[in-house]
Amino acid sequence: MALRTRARKKKPKKTNRIGLSRSAYRGHPSTLCSGCGHDAITNQIIRAFYEIGVNPYSVAKMSGIGCSSKTPAYFMNASHGFNSVHGRMPSVATGTMLANRGLVCIGVSGDGDTASIGLGQFCHLLRRNVPMIYVIENNGVYGLTKGQFSATADDGATLKTGVVNELPAMDCCSLAIEMGCSYVARSFAGDPKQLVALLKGALSHSGTAMLDVISPCVTFNNHPGSTKSYSWAKEHEELLHQIDFIPGFEPIAAVDYPEGEAMDVEMYDGSVIRLRKVDMDYDPMNRREAVRMLHSSAAASELLTGLIYVNPVAKSFLDTLNLCDEPLVSLPHEKVKPGPEILEQVMKDLM
Amino acid sequence: MAVAQTQTIVPQRDGIQASVVNDLSIQVATVNGSGSQSSNNVLMRSIFQMGIPTSGKNLFPSNIAGLPTWFTIRASKRGYVGCKREVDILIAMNPQTAREDVETLDPGRVVLYEERLKLSGLRDDLIYYPVPFSKLAAEAVRIPRLRKLVANMAYVGSVAEFLGIEMEQVEVAIAKWFKTKQKAIDLNIRIAHMGAQYVRDHLPKRDPYRLERMDKTRGKIIIDGNSACALGAMFGGVTVVTWYPITPASSLGEALTDYLQQYRTDPETGKATFAVVQAEDELAALGMAIGAGWSGARSMTSTSGPGISLMSEFTGLAYFAEIPCVIFDVQRVGPSTGLPTRTAQGDILSLHSLSHGDTAHPVLLPGDMAECFEMSRQAFDLAERLQQPVFVGSDLDLGMNNWMCDPFEYPTEPPDRGKVLTAADLERAGEFARYRDLDGDGIPYRTLPGTEHPLASYFTRGSGHNDSAGYSERPEDYVQLMDRLKRKYDTARELVPQPVIDLRDEAVIGIIAYGSSDSAMEECRDQLLEEYGIEINYLRLRALPLSPALKDFVAVCRRVYVVEQNRDGQMADLIQLELGEAGTKIRKICHYTGLPLDARFVTEQVIAAERPS
Ligand SMILES: Cc1ncc(C[n+]2csc(CCOP(=O)(O)OP(=O)(O)O)c2C)c(N)n1
Ligand code: SF4
Ligand SMILES: [Mg+2]
């Protein structure tokens, strides 16, 4: 029996520069609480990787343990992912990048995962400048273990249960600068436009790009008294600048900005991060100024967001180690197993 | 009936007595950091170069300078390489320990000592040779700092003169040690000759010990286990090495770094075909090795007991997520400050099942230098074949002491990179399930990140996954996973190095040993046979999981002694578990002084049990 069909004109699917549609960057459905800041960040990760046209097969998604660390399962199913152990993702990511420098590595962590149990590895990752994006989904609490305070909770913040945090907050951005991190940004899950630009900038960076993203936990830390809630963040956000990202593969639009109104940061791959002035002059390549800004904004209880510090020419760990250009995993066995004459020579020396 | 024959040597004033040739041990007691390493090495090499089987053991404190240290050199015409309990010649240079060192000697032994220590009044049943080493050094060298260093080379000359070590060999050994530093070579040779000359001029020989040229070391090498393991790793094609300094494992990482820099730097580009990272701690060291193993690199880390403890969580993750990597454990005594520079085999149970939940790991147990080399290489094959962490369980005695052995053979077999699917494989197969047991051996297939194929990716996590690597908390999925991992362990049983078994006619008693304990076993069996008429069957374990051959061995023995260097008989416990009812035949012989095992200790233990008086 013949079916009556009507030829419908298919709308051509929108694709990126490597011919993939956005769905190629999707992951499994999220199992996080609805409204969780982490999901909003996931969306921007998908968008950034899609819009830049990163080959998903070349991506390694890494994480530790926590609600935040579950999210690599919710983006880019076509990429290998590794949900490792609590606080230790930096080392696993480091090993991954040593083995295969051809990969694009993104790690997602939480504030507990990074600033408490994983503090040591976090610091050493930054010192080494391992090429990867490191996103902290910062909600001030341990979501997955049901809402205890984390080390980024502000002094005086309260839990729903009324418990007050009386310890000083750790500022991952100040710490990162101190540790020699070469791309330090802060953003907010409720500010997708800024976040996606910072993620794209991170993709163009040659070393560790650290993004501390305030990501409200709607279940345990979104109440009045919290300093990591949506409403608190919205009320207290102070933009350092407006950020545009111009990828290296696109021509840079010659826009004329009045003197001092915009600043271009050229990244190692030729991309440009354009920072437009909001209400002050700010040079993110000045490390001391960055630290001063962080301190003064913290004292004023502001949530300072934007590209806080960048050094686009910092030497990556792979260069420090003088690694060959070919990924170590692709070296043929002959290249990594010295010949019999070498063993003979070593043996002779021991006789 | 045979009786124990411990050599008793009666001192004789004027020479003539039965001489003891090529069967002696020299103990040099010095102060840590006084430069005795070069003189001890030269002394050992000189004997070795005379064709006499030699081994050297360094007993050193956990200290950089100032505390006492002892170096023991054994020359054995029968080729015994284990530790000899009795010291025959004491070279006493350290005022801190000289008295105690002298007190513990057996009668008739020799004390060659720094004259100023005035030791001859301590006992009258020893042979004393006072030499003014520091005076000799002062005559030869002006600079006081240098003087202290070269004083040690004077005792080499003196003891050479007494024992008949050829001075040409001393010279060759000095030249070898100081390599291109001609000034140092000349000075040390001069001092050694002064030590010898002094003896010739002032001290007639009154002891029976002699060294005479043999032909038992031709073509042999002297190496320490850590260097042997490092070489094994390099020829195994390791590419990512991570470590955190800890005695006695540091020299493995350091030797490997040296070898890699020398032999694995691309001559064309000057770039490294390896990455070595000194990590911030052992957690990170293993984390990096796991990340690299996951990505498809041959990765390793090396550590000792304290590091093994820290690696516990990550080891469990790699076990469940099935990620290859090699972990070297150069075992030492217990935690923290105290005896970190003493040897032990105390991590056996830890290695066997490190981490939480149900885990079981392959552990390779090299027993000599050749195996340190070979098993280190093989560990990478096994890790990739089995997709899990594989331990190489060495110890301080193997790792840091000097052993004589045959040169290593170049490994010719191609590497086993395990079940890795490429994009082309995936295209052909049309499907991929990361944790499915397609071959019935418990080992699934894996893909590497970066594989350009829509089927390639999977998500790696700990215990909660089904066979497609999907997140799952279903009881059936978990049970299936656990049972498959067990199947994989049984596969490993066949793949790991099998025990070496030596059965003797008439023997009803068996001994099982492993690792560095093997070094005492040949001598121990000879002692039991020659002194007590007891034949011994011997099984040398070379790996966990335990081989099926173990059961058959125990079956032919009436009693089996498991010899090991820990308090509780950790391997004996594992063996008993494995054997079930036959486990009642197992007896434990546990040596846990922190010193290397000596044959006499085992012999005495066996006799105490077999011939209770
Ligand atoms: C070694 C170890 N200790 C404790 C835990 C329990 N644990 C799981 S998640 C978590 C906290 C996660 O907090 P955070 O990183 O802030 O992530 P969030 O859930 O808030 O996104 C803890 C303590 C663990 N998994 N492992
Ligand atoms: S508990 Fe909090 S952090 Fe976790 S998923 Fe829910 S909202 Fe997000
Ligand atoms: Mg959190």
* pLDDT tens for chain A, residues 1 to 351: 344 545 566 777 899 999 999 999 999 999 999 999 999 999 999 999 999 999 999 999 999 999 999 999 999 999 999 999 999 999 999 999 999 999 999 999 999 999 999 999 999 999 999 999 999 999 999 999 999 999 999 999 999 999 999 999 999 999 999 999 999 999 999 999 999 999 999 999 999 999 999 999 999 999 999 999 999 999 999 999 999 999 998 877 666 777 778 899 999 999 999 999 888 889 999 999 999 999 999 999 999 999 999 999 999 999 999 999 999 999 999 999 999 999 999 999 999
Ligand 2 pocket member A139 (CB < 6 A): yes
- Site to probe by mutation for ligand 2, drawn from A220, A222, A223 as the one with most ligand atoms within 8 Å of Cβ, is A220
Contact at CB, A328 and B239, closer than 8 angstroms: yes
Residue B11 located in a structural domain: no
Same domain, B511 and B476: no
Residue B460's closest chain A neighbor by CA? A82
Which residue range(s) make up the domain with B485?
A: 423-495
Q: Which residues of A touch B226 (CB under 8 A)?
A: none
Contact at CB, B317 and A84, closer than 8 angstroms: yes
- Nearest Cβ partner for B449 among A91, A103, A351: A103
In this prediction, residue B530 carries a pLDDT of: 97
Residue B391 located in a structural domain: yes
DSSP H or E segment with residue B361: none
**CA dist list (Å): B77 to B164, B367, B479:** 15, 21, 57
Q: What is the CATH number of the domain that holds B561?
A: 3.40.50.920
In the reported structure, the alpha carbon of residue A68 is separated from the centroid of ligand 1 by a whole-number distance in angstroms of 9
In this prediction, residue B13 carries a pLDDT of: 42
Contact at CB, B458 and A80, closer than 8 angstroms: yes
Nearest CA to ligand 1 atom 6: A145
Same domain, B201 and B121: yes
In the reported structure, the alpha carbon of residue A67 is separated from the centroid of ligand 3 by a whole-number distance in angstroms of 7
Structure-token pair, residue A310: 């960048």
d(CA B589, CA B602): 7
Q: Say how many CA atoms lie within 13 Å of A178 toward its Cβ.
A: 11
The minimum CA-CA distance between A134 and chain B, rounded to whole Å, is 16
In this prediction, residue B582 carries a pLDDT of: 93
How many other β-carbons are positioned within 10 Å of the β-carbon of residue B553? 18
Atom of ligand 1 nearest to the CA of A38: 21
d(CA B242, CA B276): 6
Nearest CA to ligand 1 atom 22: A145
Q: How many domains does chain B have?
A: 4
Q: Hey, is the C-beta of A291 within 8 angstroms of any chain B C-beta? A: no
In this prediction, residue B132 carries a pLDDT of: 96
d(CA B511, CA B515): 14
Residue for token pair 């957690």? B283
Q: Which residues of A touch B271 (CB under 8 A)?
A: 322-325
Same domain, B400 and B508: no
Contact at CB, A95 and B288, closer than 8 angstroms: yes
Ligand 2 pocket member A33 (CB < 6 A): yes
How many other β-carbons are positioned within 10 Å of the β-carbon of residue B567? 13
Residue B117 located in a structural domain: yes
Is residue B201 classed as helix, strand or coil in its secondary structure?
helix
Q: What is the CATH number of the domain that holds B361?
A: 3.40.50.970
Same domain, B151 and B119: yes
Same domain, B549 and B453: no
Q: What is the DSSP letter of B410?
A: P
d(CA A245, CA A276): 11
Chain B 226-265, CB below 8 Å of chain A: which residues? 231, 234-240, 242, 259, 263-264
> Which of B439, B467, B495 finishes a domain?
B495
Residue B149 located in a structural domain: yes
Nearest CA to ligand 1 atom 4: A86
Residue B5 located in a structural domain: no
- Nearest Cβ partner for A321 among B275, B448, B452: B275
Contact at CB, B297 and A79, closer than 8 angstroms: no
Same domain, B180 and B254: no
Chain B 304-333, CB below 8 Å of chain A: which residues? 313-314, 317, 321
d(CA A296, CA B124): 81
Same domain, B170 and B227: no
Q: Are B588 and B594 in contact (CB under 8 A)?
A: no
Ligand 2 pocket member A41 (CB < 6 A): no
Same domain, B302 and B446: no
Contact at CB, A58 and B450, closer than 8 angstroms: yes
CA nearest neighbour of A85 among B307, B355, B351, B360: B355
Q: What is the DSSP letter of A253?
A: P
Nearest CA to ligand 2 atom 1: A143
Chain B 391-430, CB below 8 Å of chain A: which residues? 407-408, 410, 414-415
Ligand 2 pocket member A147 (CB < 6 A): no
How many other β-carbons are positioned within 10 Å of the β-carbon of residue A204? 23
Same domain, B529 and B433: no
In the reported structure, the alpha carbon of residue B500 is separated from the centroid of ligand 2 by a whole-number distance in angstroms of 57
The minimum CA-CA distance between B216 and chain A, rounded to whole Å, is 13
Residues with CB under 6 A from ligand 1: A 65-68, 86, 110-113, 137, 139, 141-145, 150
Structure-token pair, residue A165: 């945090």
- Site to probe by mutation for ligand 2, drawn from A159, A218, A226 as the one with most ligand atoms within 8 Å of Cβ, is A218
> Which of B210, B240, B275 finishes a domain?
B210
Same domain, B255 and B366: yes
Low-confidence ranges of chain B (pLDDT < 50): 1-16
Residue for token pair 């990787």? A49
CA nearest neighbour of A26 among A72, A66, A84, A82: A72
Classify domain A22-333 at the CATH topology level. Answer: Rossmann fold (3.40.50)
Q: Hey, is the C-beta of B541 within 8 angstroms of any chain A C-beta? A: no
**pTM reported for the whole predicted model:** 0.95
AA identity, residue B58: N
In this prediction, residue B143 carries a pLDDT of: 85
- Site to probe by mutation for ligand 1, drawn from A63, A116, A121, A142 as the one with most ligand atoms within 8 Å of Cβ, is A142
Residue B399 located in a structural domain: yes
Q: Are A203 and A178 in contact (CB under 8 A)?
A: no
Same domain, B36 and B185: yes
In this prediction, residue B140 carries a pLDDT of: 87
The minimum CA-CA distance between B8 and chain A, rounded to whole Å, is 35
d(CA B338, CA B333): 8
Residue B218 located in a structural domain: no
Q: Are B86 and B74 in contact (CB under 8 A)?
A: no
Q: Hey, is the C-beta of B268 within 8 angstroms of any chain A C-beta? A: no
Nearest CA to ligand 2 atom 6: A33
In this prediction, residue B63 carries a pLDDT of: 79
> ipTM of the assembly?
0.95
- Nearest Cβ partner for A91 among B222, B288, B462: B288
The alpha carbon of A267 is separated from its chain's Cα centroid by a whole number of angstroms, namely 16
Residue pairs between chains A and B whose CB atoms are closer than 8 Å: 211
Same domain, B57 and B170: yes
> Which of B176, B210, B244 finishes a domain?
B210
The minimum CA-CA distance between B284 and chain A, rounded to whole Å, is 5
AA identity, residue B281: D
Contact at CB, B271 and A91, closer than 8 angstroms: no
